[in-house]
Structure 1
Amino acid sequence: MPSTDHPEINKILEYVNNNYDKELTLRGMAKYVNMCEQVGFVHLNYFLKQFKKRTGATPSEFRVSKKTERINS
């Protein structure tokens, strides 16, 4: 799992990794790490770009890869 120098982003990545099969929303993740939109990701496209930069995949691709990974382990 990639790690960043942002503890909140690391916490979100860990949560997504462990809960990929649940409904995940930007609002939910912001609430999970206690971020309001003034300090978080206001625009979905920016969030998607940052997520892909950190993980190498879109959230959908990441979710599918984690499901496959768990099935094969």
Structure 2
Amino acid sequence: MDGAQLDAALSQLYDNPASVRARSLAFSETIGCGDRQVRKWISGEAEVPRHIAMLVNLMLDTGTKPEELRP
């Protein structure tokens, strides 16, 4: 999964928040990491880790909403 694919997936998972910043912040809160790291993945500055790509794809495939992942 590349950054553009991650961004598109996050748009689907978070009902298309208006900005990359909003999507990255929402996803970072869901997975427990910094929003700057998520923006690095989206921009291509850093590679999307395999486990993150797998999680996002699994969420899309099963219709799992982000709020269902929170403890």
Q: What TM-score results when the alignment is normalised by the length of structure 2?
A: 0.36
Bigger relative contact order (CA 8 A; separation at least 6): 2
Q: From the CA coordinates, give the structure whose radius of gyration is larger.
A: 1
Structure with greater helix share of residues: 2
